[in-house]
Amino acid sequence: MNLIFLGPPGAGKGTHAQLLMNELGIPQISTGDMLRQAMKAGTEMGLAAKRYIEAGELVPDEVVIGIVKDRLQAEDCKNGYILDGFPRTVPQAEALAQFAKIDVALNIDLADEVIIKRLSGRRVCLKCGATYHISTLNGREDCAACGEKLVQRKDDSPETVQNRLTVYAAQTAPLIDYYEKKGILRTVHCAPSATVDENYAQVRETLGLK
Ligand code: AMP
């Protein structure tokens, strides 16, 4: 199954993509993680992407399209993949359609006020991509999966989060319509108080997993 996870920043795309990756044995391909790794490694692409990411803006289409096109050639994508955070603009979606056949675009929907609370308490592992919320860490500062020190993403600061939501509404939300018209959109509405397990159960049901 070739999947796209759509939805605003902080809606749980990464968390659910990781759960699904473990369950189905297909890779989660997060353009945000790949760009952050490139930034950490100090590559030319990472350095070029840094100012966009830290301002909550989108990295230019041609950069991310190139990364995804290369990544989808890898052997581990043969039986399917989960695109997490790509496409984020209509031109990206149009480019993707030239080199990939997507089965389902899953839209994870969540209210803005929940997103802002979530992102301000988010801590991430830059090594393995795991994410946590401070409310569940009990003071722990390292990643339970790989031991790396957890950090707060610069773009999770309140001002940048607001800009990311504005950018999402202007540039990414039109993809909901785009995939609806293609007949492959499915939406999961996450209640503000729902747990990860409850939301993941909805994701599974929406994808028709037994
Ligand atoms: P994410 O981890 O998915 O929230 O992405 C973090 C940041 O990386 C975004 O705010 C953008 O600056 C950049 N980014 C990730 N994916 C894309 C994409 N598909 N198109 C453009 N920029 C992206």
| Residue 36 CA to ligand 1 centre (angstroms) | 9
Measured from the Cα of 84, ligand 1's closest atom is 3
Average pLDDT, rounded, for the chain = 95
| Residue 210 CA to ligand 1 centre (angstroms) | 32
- The structure tokens 């999947």 sit at 3
pTM over 0.85: yes
- The percent of the chain in helix, strand and coil, each rounded to the nearest 5, is 50, 15, 30
pLDDT tens string 25-79? 999 999 999 999 999 999 999 999 999 999 999 999 999 999 999 999 999 999 9
Using the 8-state DSSP alphabet, how is residue 151 labeled? B
pLDDT at 185 over 90: yes
**Degrees, nearest 5: CA angle 71-47-156:** 85
**Could you tell me if 10 and 122 are in contact, meaning their C-beta atoms sit under 8 angstroms apart?**
yes
Residues 6+ away with beta carbon under 8 Å from 99:
69, 72
129 ligand 1 Cβ < 6 A: no
12 ligand 1 Cβ < 6 A: no
Distance (Å, whole) CA 163 – CA 39: 21
pLDDT tens string 101-133? 999 999 999 998 899 888 999 999 988 888 899
Task: Kindly state the tokens that stand for 99.
Answer: 């080199």
16 ligand 1 Cβ < 6 A: no
59 ligand 1 Cβ < 6 A: yes
- Edge-to-edge strand list for the sheet holding 2-6: 28-30, 81-84, 2-6, 104-109, 185-189
pLDDT band at 159 (very low <50, low <70, confident <90, very high): confident
| Residue 52 CA to ligand 1 centre (angstroms) | 9
SS (H, E, C) 58-109: CCCHHHHHHHHHHHCCCHHHCCCEEEECCCCCHHHHHHHHHHCCCCEEEEEE
